[in-house]
Amino acid sequence: MRSRAYDEAEPWFPTKTGDIVLMPDGRPAEVEFQSIDAVRLRHPGNNRIIVPAAEFAGQALERLSDGYRVDISFGLDYGDQAEITTSMRETMERGVEARWRDSRWADALISTSVEFREAGASSLDYYVRVDLDGSSASDLQAQSRQLQRFCVDICNEQGWVIPFTQLTLHMASHSSDSELESAAAKNPSEQSCETRASND
């Protein structure tokens, strides 16, 4: 009698049983059960947590069941600068797609892409992404690790260098002992003054 008008297209809750959501800690979880009081979630590995319904609904959750993206940043050496945005990018993109189609998540694949992202401090970085349909969302973390592996495997096949973060130190020059002795020999008066001062 007192509530606002109800729209049939309006969801009563952010999820339904069977949905996969991305939790604030970065882990995917399946909604096993939900009611007006509590939501039971199952993480990969079958450990379960129960969250009060109000707390669950108040979180900024990402629902993965209808599709999601796995993406990473992957860097290559500055020595490949001439081809990093052209032939190498195309080779990386073809390699990622071919390996994904041979993986156990092939049926979930929508598209893959490799784009040049930025010139970093120690590497030229690609943005590598795979869009999936949501049917394998519980494997999100494993898929991210596998995508890293695919990129490393492609680099090994092509002979591309994966750089590591480099630290350059600039050392101030110091006079050697022989230079100091030579300067003292040229200025014996200064040496004697310093000796007298130290004796005092």
The amino acid at 25: D
- Tell me the C-alpha distance between 112 and 117, whole Å: 15
Q: Give the residue range(s) of CATH 3.30.70.960 domains in the chain.
A: 68-158
Per-residue pLDDT for the chain (200 aa), expressed as one digit of tens each? Answer: 677 777 777 777 889 999 999 998 899 999 999 999 999 999 998 999 999 999 998 888 899 999 999 999 999 999 999 999 999 999 999 999 999 999 999 999 999 999 999 999 899 999 999 999 999 999 999 999 999 999 999 999 999 999 987 666 667 766 555 555 565 555 554 444 444 444 44
* pLDDT score, position 57: 87
Provide the CATH topology of domain 68-158: Alpha-Beta Plaits (3.30.70)
- Do the Cβ atoms of 48 and 40 come closer than 8 Å? yes
* pLDDT score, position 193: 42
The DSSP annotation for 114-149 comes to: EEEEEE-SS-EEEEEEEEE-STTGGGHHHHHHHHHH
* pLDDT score, position 196: 45
- Do the Cβ atoms of 71 and 127 come closer than 8 Å? yes
Report the number of secondary-structure helices (H) and strands (E) in the chain.
Answer: 5, 8
Please tell me whether residue 77 adopts helix, strand or coil conformation: coil
